[in-house]
Amino acid sequence: YMCAGGFTLEGTHSAYCYSGTWSSPVPVCIPLEGQPHAPQPPTGENPCLIDYNGCDQVCTYGGYTKAVCQCYNGYKHHGKKCLSLDDTRNHSSSSCSSSGCSHGCSENGGIARCYCPRGYTLDNDGKTCRDVDECMSDKGGCQDICINYEGSHRCDCRRGYKLDTDGRSCIQEPSLPLPTQNPCYFYNGGCSQGCENNNGAVKCYCWTGYTLSDDSRACHKVSVPDPCSSNNGLRPCGDICVNLGNGRHRCECRQPGTQLHQDGRSCVDINECDENNFGCMHYCYNTVGSALCYCKPGFKLDINNKTCSDIDECSLPGIESHCYGQCVNTMGSFRCVPAAAQYATTTASTRDETTVTKDAEKPDGEIIFPGNEPTPEPTVPVPTSRPVSTCEDGFEHDAYGRCVDVNECRTGELRCSQHCVNTQGSVYCTCDRGYALAADGMTCVDIDECAKLPYPCDQGCVNTMGSYACTCWTGFELSSADGHSCTDIDECVNNNGGCERDCVNIPGGHFCTCPKGSKISSDLRSCVGVTCPAFVEVANGITKCVPEIEKGKFARVGTVCNSRCAKGYGREGTPRNECLENGTWSHAFPSCSAKYCPPLKNPEHGRVLPERCLSDAGNVVSSRCTYTCDEGFILSGKIVNTCKRTATWKHQPPTCKRRRSEVSITCPQDVHAVLPSGSDHGRVELPRPVSTNVDTDNIVVHPGYLKDYKGDFHFGSHTVTYVARDPETGREASCTFVVEILDKEPPNILSCPGSVHVYATRLEGAVVRWEEPEFEDNVDVDVVKKSKEPGTVFPVGEHFVQYVAYDTSGNRVTCEFAVIVQSKECGWLRDIENGHPDCNDWLYGVVCEPYCYSGFGFPRNVPTVYACNLSGIWEPRSWIPECSPIQPTSSTSCMPGSEYFDELEDEANVCLECPPGMFWEAGTSMCSFCEEGFYQDEFGQTHCKPCPSSSTSATSQLIKEQCGA
């Protein structure tokens, strides 16, 4: 908070919003005795930083107490406001959505303009807002430390000092115990905006519109959406929306004659008729954005659209039909006077009159609005007898009885304040230039040209009686050419503007600048080197700076100081500090304070030495204390304890425990047990320890599932541990033994195949397959060994297959079965008449060759070899025909039923009868076998007989073979 000139602040200079509550109440500004109460900004302070100094568009400040308001191109000054020169001018259309403004934007007259909030200045591009570093100008008015941040700055003091109520100077504060100090009090805890004391630790936070950066200290501006942009087609304002930055906006109305509604969004019409009747002489009718004047019956609106003039009804066409005699015009009406009676005199009591209503014709210029119809005028009397001589209003009889004009200006009937103008039958008042006639039609009032549009002056305007004068703001001069425009005065031309170094001219003023490494002094003209305030010596510590600084002197930019604390003292704060270009130290200087560990206590049955270890302030950092125990007790814990730099002890306090002998325990011999039949585990009761010097309650058995020295054990070896523990000393002893669980039970056969019988299907024998046997074991079947695999080829004969199953203990069981491979037998061929078969074993069967005795033989179609196959069937037939007698012949042919041979059994030209089972076939002249379903039981036949439907005992053996019976 700050007060204007002539006032002093009573209360806290600054307040912070924390957790929804302000840190202090609002202060008040009290007038100084003998000082005027007109508010003036303090000397050297930038008035543009206070609500933009009320400027509508641009506020500039040249280092003096007066700020200058300026307008953008296309606008003209009107006080501190900016008005469009010509809203109808063809500007290039733009909008805030495409303006590229970094902070605020507003639209007026189709033109988008960028503006900046307080603490920022518009860059040369007209779009970007650049932070004003107030600390660069005389440390921002701060006595000690100036901290600049986005949009503003604040003052701060070194440790041991605090801000005075003016928010700038520093006063010494009472010393407080270190634990009660607020870390945010020193340099705002290093936070760029808000600082919160979190149990002695710094927690930075940012204001609305900013976000905390990764270093948890600096705050960066958050990109805020344009509040004036359309949201789902809905605009926040009915007419003009002005973006105020940080998500805020303001609604305005561009149409003259409208104003903002109470809802703050929409624009409503102003009833201009409520103020001085809108200047209308007679009637006023309000319209949207403006108003209209209209006149009483008998009058018409003048060219100024305000005053009303009488209508001369006597000059209107068709008046003769309403007036008998002479028509005499009056103000707002007319009279009819008979021509013969113009010079006669009479009294009103002797007149007979006829009434004529004055509404036959509407006068020119008269406007009748619905609901505003004027009250009909009184009727006009028209004489019907005895002509009467009378003069209309504004006329009088002269000495000859004629009607002549009355000069009301001379009679003083109309009291005009300036000029009186007499007319035929009437009179009116006029005013000098710069004045306007009041509503009474007589008084002339001054016209305030400075309040009218278009604004007559470039900057300032002073109204005078009947005229006005243009003025210019400080830093500008009035043009002698036109008397209303103002041009900037370049103060830098004259003596460099009083600046020691560089002078920068701005519209309406100028300011001085300094090169890097220096800053502007309090006179705003000269330059002084940038320095940091002298640092405060660190008590109980040492600070070394490069380059060295004399005690109480200021430090140059770039000076680096390192601080350390003496032994026994702890440091709080950053040890390294650097003088920055803005004239502030990079950190607050640290402090060194003595560190004490809390007093120790003597352990039960022991002592701690030396005695200082038992006092409140006897244990500084790095001090050591030693523990001892009484006779018969031993120390459990660390003998020596050290006070750490954090004022805490390095170890927990030890204890003294009664001295005892070593714990001992002896385990029993290994245990062997056999699994129960059909089970993979067995319950074993363990033997107790052979010897121990502790109670059985202090013996623990591992594994932990063994309770009361009992438990279930699975097959295999198990290690059991007995742990004996002394509850007082915590010492332990242990022993182990083995529990061996044996498996004596062989596997069990679930299935085993019986003997397998097969017939040979190949010369080698037969491929034999079987379902393999299945085994199970109470623990696990480890391996199954077998003598043959299914699918093995076995030769004809009997074979044995074995499967042997072993468990993990080597117990075994055997499954054995036989595989028998047989060949099928055909049976012996029957003997034949007059011959015999010669049979021998061959491969896997029997082969027979039939032979006939001498003098006998076989036809050609009788096979020479008969074989028994693997299926036990003779091939090609299961019987051999009889041998037929050889009969010589002298010819080369035989009788039907016999087959001819040119040589057989060393005999030439013989015949051989077809034996039974065969017939003589005429086509080949050879003997052929009967087909299936036929037979022949006689020699020398030419055909075969059909087989009977069933066989009987009378049927020969041959018939059975041929017929298949």
pLDDT digit string (tens) for 885-920?
999 988 888 999 999 998 888 888 899 999 998 999
**pLDDT at residue 811, rounded to an integer:** 94
Helix (H), strand (E) counts: the chain: 2, 86
Q: How far apart are CA 294 and CA 274, in angstroms?
A: 15
Q: How far apart are CA 352 and CA 341, in angstroms?
A: 13
Where is pLDDT greater, at 667 or 40? 667
Per cent of the chain over pLDDT 70 is 78
Residue 676 has pLDDT above 80, yes or no: yes
- Residue-wise DSSP of 54-79: G-SSEEEE-SSS-EEEE--TTEEEET
- Residue-wise DSSP of 317-342: TTGGGT-SSEEEEETTEEEEE-GGGT
Where is pLDDT greater, at 566 or 896? 896
How confident is the model over 155-166, as pLDDT tens digits?
A: 888 766 788 888
**Mean pLDDT over residues 604-610, rounded?**
91
**Mean pLDDT over residues 741-757, rounded?**
93
- With b meaning 16 or more CB within 10 Å and e meaning fewer, what string describes 719-739? ebebbbbbeebeeebebebeb
Please tell me whether residue 114 adopts helix, strand or coil conformation. Answer: strand
**pLDDT at residue 747, rounded to an integer:** 95
390 closest CA partner among 342, 462, 440, 318 = 342
Q: How far apart are CA 282 and CA 264, in angstroms?
A: 35
pLDDT band at 375 (very low <50, low <70, confident <90, very high): very low
Sequence-ordered list of residues with C-beta below 8 angstroms from that of 456, at least 6 positions apart, any chain: 449, 450, 468, 470, 484
Task: Please calculate the CA angle 854-858-861 and round it to the nearest 5 degrees.
Answer: 160
Residue 424 has pLDDT above 50, yes or no: yes
Q: Which amino acid is at 361?
A: E
**Mean pLDDT over residues 754-768, rounded?**
86
Please tell me whether residue 636 adopts helix, strand or coil conformation. Answer: strand
H or E segment to which residue 29 belongs: strand 28-31
Where is pLDDT greater, at 684 or 297? 684
Residue 952 has pLDDT above 60, yes or no: no
Structure tokens at 859: 């036809």
**Mean pLDDT over residues 261-289, rounded?**
85
DSSP code at position 26: -
Give the strand order in the sheet containing 240-245: 111-115, 104-108, 240-245, 248-252
Size of the chain, expressed as the number of residues it contains: 965
CA distances from 72 to 8, 98, 111 (A): 37, 18, 10
Phi–psi pair at 857, nearest 5 degrees:
-165, 180
H or E segment to which residue 310 belongs: strand 308-310
Cross-strand partners of 428: 421
**Mean pLDDT over residues 4-24, rounded?**
57
CA distances from 21 to 24, 152, 205, 446, 804 (A): 9, 22, 15, 54, 92
pLDDT band at 749 (very low <50, low <70, confident <90, very high): very high
**pLDDT at residue 181, rounded to an integer:** 52
Q: How far apart are CA 296 and CA 366, in angstroms?
A: 7
Structure tokens at 505: 């001219």
- Which range has highest mean pLDDT (356-360, 458-462, 487-491)? 487-491
**pLDDT at residue 955, rounded to an integer:** 39
Residue 354 has pLDDT above 90, yes or no: no
Dihedral-angle region of residue 124 (phi above 0 means left; psi in -120 to 50 means alpha; beta otherwise): alpha
**pLDDT at residue 607, rounded to an integer:** 93
Task: Please calculate the CA angle 955-957-962 and round it to the nearest 5 degrees.
Answer: 90
Residue 79 has pLDDT above 70, yes or no: no
- Which range has highest mean pLDDT (8-22, 451-465, 644-658)? 644-658
- The answer to whether the CB of 673 falls within 8 A of the CB of 741 is yes
Sequence-ordered list of residues with C-beta below 8 angstroms from that of 495, at least 6 positions apart, any chain: none
**pLDDT at residue 606, rounded to an integer:** 92
530 closest CA partner among 577, 578, 582 = 582
Residue 365 has pLDDT above 70, yes or no: no
Residue 962 has pLDDT above 90, yes or no: no
- 219-233, 493-507, 522-536: the lowest-pLDDT one: 219-233
Peptide bond into 888 cis (omega under 30): no
**pLDDT at residue 620, rounded to an integer:** 84
How confident is the model over 853-885, as pLDDT tens digits?
A: 989 999 999 998 988 877 778 888 888 899 999
**Burial (0-12, 13-18, 19+ Cβ within 10 Å), 556:** middle
Residue 12 has pLDDT above 60, yes or no: no
**Mean pLDDT over residues 112-133, rounded?**
79
Please tell me whether residue 875 adopts helix, strand or coil conformation. Answer: strand
**Mean pLDDT over residues 232-238, rounded?**
65
Delineate the domains of the chain, giving CATH numbers in brackets: 278-394 (2.10.25.10), 451-488 (2.10.25), 491-529 (2.10.25.10), 531-591 (2.10.70.10), 606-658 (2.10.70.10), 665-742 (2.60.40), 748-822 (2.60.40.10), 835-963 (no CATH)
H or E segment to which residue 294 belongs: strand 290-294
**pLDDT at residue 126, rounded to an integer:** 80
**pLDDT at residue 110, rounded to an integer:** 63
Mean of the per-residue pLDDT values of the chain? 78
Sequence-ordered list of residues with C-beta below 8 angstroms from that of 117, at least 6 positions apart, any chain: 103, 104, 129, 151, 244, 245, 246
Q: How far apart are CA 499 and CA 242, in angstroms?
A: 39
How confident is the model over 438-482, as pLDDT tens digits?
A: 888 888 988 888 877 677 888 888 888 888 888 888 788 888 888
Cross-strand partners of 922: none
Q: How far apart are CA 476 and CA 495, in angstroms?
A: 18
Residue 45 has pLDDT above 60, yes or no: no
Please tell me whether residue 944 adopts helix, strand or coil conformation. Answer: coil
CA distances from 407 to 343, 442, 643 (A): 22, 16, 119
**pLDDT at residue 818, rounded to an integer:** 95
- With b meaning 16 or more CB within 10 Å and e meaning fewer, what string describes 636-663? eeeeebebeeebebeeeebbbbeeeeeb
- Residue-wise DSSP of 117-163: -TTEEE-TTSS-EEE--GGGBGGGG-SSEEEEETTEEEEE--TTEEE
Torsion of CA 368, 374, 376, 378, to 10 degrees: -120
Where is pLDDT greater, at 364 or 413? 413
Residue 954 has pLDDT above 70, yes or no: no
Structure tokens at 775: 């085994």
Residue 47 has pLDDT above 70, yes or no: no
**pLDDT at residue 746, rounded to an integer:** 95
Cross-strand partners of 528: 519
Q: How far apart are CA 551 and CA 535, in angstroms?
A: 8
How confident is the model over 175-195, as pLDDT tens digits?
A: 433 333 566 765 576 777 788
**pLDDT at residue 953, rounded to an integer:** 39
Q: How far apart are CA 178 and CA 170, in angstroms?
A: 20
HSE at residue 68, side-chain half, CA atoms within 13 A, is: 19
Torsion of CA 855, 856, 860, 866, to 10 degrees: -130
Task: Please calculate the CA angle 806-811-815 and round it to the nearest 5 degrees.
Answer: 55
Residue 46 has pLDDT above 90, yes or no: no
**pLDDT at residue 869, rounded to an integer:** 78
**pLDDT at residue 775, rounded to an integer:** 95
**pLDDT at residue 373, rounded to an integer:** 40
Q: How far apart are CA 746 and CA 743, in angstroms?
A: 8
CA distances from 791 to 757, 768, 772, 817, 819 (A): 14, 5, 11, 15, 12
Q: How far apart are CA 771 and CA 777, in angstroms?
A: 20
CA distances from 782 to 752, 801, 804, 813, 860 (A): 18, 20, 11, 12, 70
**Mean pLDDT over residues 10-17, rounded?**
59
Phi–psi pair at 315, nearest 5 degrees:
-95, 0
DSSP code at position 375: P
- The answer to whether the CB of 668 falls within 8 A of the CB of 737 is yes
**pLDDT at residue 279, rounded to an integer:** 92
Question: Which pTM was predicted?
Answer: 0.30
Structure tokens at 768: 């034999």
Where is pLDDT greater, at 227 or 854? 854
Task: Please calculate the CA angle 892-922-904 and round it to the nearest 5 degrees.
Answer: 40
Q: How far apart are CA 44 and CA 141, in angstroms?
A: 8
